[in-house]
């Protein structure tokens, strides 16, 4: 055990160097630069040091040393987050605990359908390890080449195949976690069933590094798809999109792997700032388009005729105006490129205000109608770039400025726009952060919209697991929410 006596800053760093080696305690500006600010540079920070342990035992010893000296820790994976949850604050007191060196694939077992990885593995590496064993690791997101297993678990990342396979939470079978006092929670199980007490892994998944640091995880794997039917469909309106999803699910079951909505403004921006080969798949530019995948694991079965039947009936019933089914993998790829280009096109268009809301799937149409009306009243001419994972009830409901407005005038209204959108999501019993988390960015919205009982329970959990508030302090739950439960509870 490290000593708990007070140590000078230099002595403390020497102690860390004694655990991980001097070369793995980074303090020079050029070495720490990519670790102390988020990639969007919204949260520039400073770190006491960036420490890169090589294994779980070293993580445990680093954490114990920090605990003994009251030094706060910011766990960090690929640092691809959007809410300021994985970088140090400006105080220069926090240690960044980077998992980047812990990137081993510990095991893959096709019979169990399981994959065990260290936290610093990228999502892409996980996909590749599964594919090499003839299985599918279904988590897939834009940042998968950089985002790490520890990060996607700590933020319960979603991505484009949640509809079929679930969020990161749903894919995890077991975790190994270093707790805020340095002890190791060994729960790295490949069990499909285990009812021996509270399922502790769910505290750390989506916990944003505030309750401990995930050092390894075991995931479920799936049968890889052998055929995928990809369609781009002009739908009458968002209600038609929701009804089409229900019909499709009724006809082919859980094969519906992704179901995305793309509004006219989003497609216009993509076509205005198109990458190579990007063009409108249909003759007209629809007010609303849907892009979906239906995937099939069996080489002997083809879901395409069932999909065509659903689309034909939906045309007859006026839900669908036009549709194209990709005939080749390249065509499917081109359709998906349009969808994936939306964020970049919006960036090229100019400043944007972004949301990541969710509501129950059936309330998507009401959300869009109400939010559109509220924002047009707030800022006439505002351009609404609406797209997202309708199958999950999750929209990236973003805004670009009205034609002719100055950037600064638009961004000066950002909080008012957020408030209007979040209020509607909340009134429809939705979420103000469907997949990006809270971090530092969304704390005020969290405090405003989360029920007080839930906030109190979260604070109690945090204080039970990290009583000194040393793990990612001030992220997720603001510091001032952490003493309320000391009072009598009624």
15 versus 36: smaller Cβ distance to its own copies: 15
Cα distances (Å, whole numbers) of residue 96 to 47, 120, 351, 400, 408: 7, 14, 31, 35, 34
Q: Does 151 bind its own copies (CB under 8 A)?
A: no
- Residue selected from 62, 262, 326, 432 as contacting its own copies according to rule CB under 8 A: 432
- Residue selected from 58, 160, 243, 265 as contacting its own copies according to rule CB under 8 A: 243
Question: Of how many residues is the chain composed?
Answer: 490
- Residue selected from 216, 470, 477, 482 as contacting its own copies according to rule CB under 8 A: 477
Q: What is the 3-state secondary structure (H, E, C) of 176-221?
A: EEECCCCCEEEECCCCCCCCCCCCCHHHHCCCCCCCCEEEEEEEEC
Q: Which of residues 313-342 bind its own copies (CB under 8 A)?
A: none
Q: For its own copies, how many residues bind (rule: CB under 8 A)?
A: 110
Q: Does 487 bind its own copies (CB under 8 A)?
A: no
Cβ atoms within 10 Å of 469's Cβ, excluding its own:
18
Which two structure tokens, joined as six digits, stand for 2? 């490290």
- Residue selected from 17, 131, 222, 331 as contacting its own copies according to rule CB under 8 A: 222
Shortest distance, position 26 Cβ to its own copies, whole Å: 27
Which two structure tokens, joined as six digits, stand for 161? 């195949």
Q: Which of residues 13-72 bind its own copies (CB under 8 A)?
A: 64, 67-68
Is residue 267 within 8 Å of 169, Cβ to Cβ?
A: no
- Residue selected from 272, 406, 416, 464 as contacting its own copies according to rule CB under 8 A: 464
Q: Does 480 bind its own copies (CB under 8 A)?
A: no
Which two structure tokens, joined as six digits, stand for 153? 């678990």
- Residue selected from 191, 285, 377, 406 as contacting its own copies according to rule CB under 8 A: 191
200 versus 384: smaller Cβ distance to its own copies: 200
Q: Does 249 bind its own copies (CB under 8 A)?
A: yes
293 versus 349: smaller Cβ distance to its own copies: 293
Is 362 strand, coil or helix? Answer: helix
Q: What is the 3-state secondary structure (H, E, C) of 374-436?
A: HHHHHCCCCEEEEEEEHHHCEEEEEEECCCCCCHHHHHCCHHHHHHHHHHHHHHCCCECCCCC
150 versus 158: smaller Cβ distance to its own copies: 158
Which phi and psi (to 5°) does residue 309 adopt? Answer: -65, -45
With CB under 8 A as the contact rule, which of the stretches 91-99, 143-151, 241-249, 338-346 interacts with its own copies? 241-249
Shortest distance, position 25 Cβ to its own copies, whole Å: 23
Shortest distance, position 433 Cβ to its own copies, whole Å: 5
- Residue selected from 77, 81, 182, 286 as contacting its own copies according to rule CB under 8 A: 182
Q: Which of residues 78-137 bind its own copies (CB under 8 A)?
A: 109-114, 134
- Residue selected from 128, 199, 407, 415 as contacting its own copies according to rule CB under 8 A: 199
Q: Side-chain half-sphere of 147: how many Cα atoms within 13 Å? A: 23
Contacts of 155 (CB under 8 A, 6+ apart): 81, 85, 168, 206, 208, 435, 436, 437
- Give the x-and-dash track for 273-312 against its own copies (CB under 8 A): -----------------------xxxxxx-x-xx--x---
- Residue selected from 183, 227, 264, 273 as contacting its own copies according to rule CB under 8 A: 183
Question: What is the spatial distance between Cα 143 and Cα 148, in angstroms, rounded to a whole number?
Answer: 9
Angle between helix 364-378 and 414-427 (nearest 10): 150
Q: Does 482 bind its own copies (CB under 8 A)?
A: no
Q: Does 152 bind its own copies (CB under 8 A)?
A: no
Question: What is the spatial distance between Cα 349 and Cα 380, in angstroms, rounded to a whole number?
Answer: 18
Measured in whole angstroms, the distance separating CA 457 from the mean position of its chain's CA atoms is: 23
349 versus 356: smaller Cβ distance to its own copies: 356
Q: Which of residues 371-430 bind its own copies (CB under 8 A)?
A: 389, 391-394, 429-430
Shortest distance, position 155 Cβ to its own copies, whole Å: 7
């Amino acid at each position: 055990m490290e000593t708990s006596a007070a140590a000078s800053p230099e002595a403390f760093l020497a102690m860390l160097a004694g655990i991980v080696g001097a070369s793995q305690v980074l303090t020079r500006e050029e070495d720490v630069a990519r670790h102390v600010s988020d990639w969007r540079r919204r949260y520039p920070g400073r770190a006491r040091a960036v420490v890169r342990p090589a294994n779980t035992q070293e993580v445990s010893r680093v954490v114990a040393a920090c605990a003994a000296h009251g030094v706060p820790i910011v766990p960090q994976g690929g640092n691809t987050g959007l809410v300021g949850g994985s970088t140090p604050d400006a105080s220069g007191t926090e240690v960044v605990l980077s998992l980047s060196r812990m990137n081993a694939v510990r095991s893959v077992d096709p019979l169990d359908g399981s994959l065990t990885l260290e936290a610093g593995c990228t999502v892409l590496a996980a996909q590749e390890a599964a594919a090499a064993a003839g299985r599918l690791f279904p988590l897939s997101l834009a940042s998968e080449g950089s985002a790490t297993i520890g990060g996607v678990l700590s933020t319960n990342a979603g991505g484009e195949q949640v509809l079929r396979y679930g969020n990161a939470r749903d894919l995890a079978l077991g975790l190994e976690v270093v707790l805020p006092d340095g002890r190791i929670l060994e729960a790295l199980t490949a069990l499909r069933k285990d009812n021996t007490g509270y399922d502790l892994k769910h505290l750390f998944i989506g916990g944003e590094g505030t309750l401990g640091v995930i050092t390894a995880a075991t995931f479920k794997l799936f049968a890889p798809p052998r055929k995928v039917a990809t369609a781009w469909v002009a739908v009458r309106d968002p209600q038609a999109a929701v009804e089409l999803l229900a019909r499709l699910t009724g006809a082919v079951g859980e094969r519906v792997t992704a179901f995305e909505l793309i509004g006219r403004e989003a497609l216009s921006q993509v076509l205005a700032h198109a990458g190579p080969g990007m063009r409108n798949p249909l003759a007209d530019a629809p007010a609303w388009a849907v892009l979906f995948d239906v995937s099939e694991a069996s080489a002997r079965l083809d879901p395409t005729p069932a999909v065509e039947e659903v689309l034909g009936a939906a045309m007859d019933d006026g839900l669908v105006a036009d549709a194209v089914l990709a005939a080749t993998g390249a065509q499917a790829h081109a359709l998906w490129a349009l969808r994936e280009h939306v964020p970049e096109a919006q960036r090229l268009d100019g400043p944007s205000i972004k949301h990541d809301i969710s509501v129950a799937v059936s309330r998507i149409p009401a959300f869009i109608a109400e939010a559109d009306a509220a924002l047009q009243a707030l800022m006439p001419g505002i351009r609404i770039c609406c797209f997202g994972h309708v199958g999950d009830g999750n929209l990236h409901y973003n805004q670009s400025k009205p034609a002719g407005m100055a950037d600064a005038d638009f961004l000066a209204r950002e909080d008012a726009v957020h408030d209007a959108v979040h209020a509607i999501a909340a009134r429809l019993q939705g979420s103000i952060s469907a997949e990006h988390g809270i971090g530092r960015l969304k704390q005020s919205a969290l405090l405003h919209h989360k029920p007080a009982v839930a906030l109190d329970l979260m604070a109690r959990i945090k204080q039970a697991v990290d009583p000194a508030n040393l793990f990612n302090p001030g992220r997720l739950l603001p510091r001032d929410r952490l003493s309320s439960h000391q009072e009598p509870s009624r």
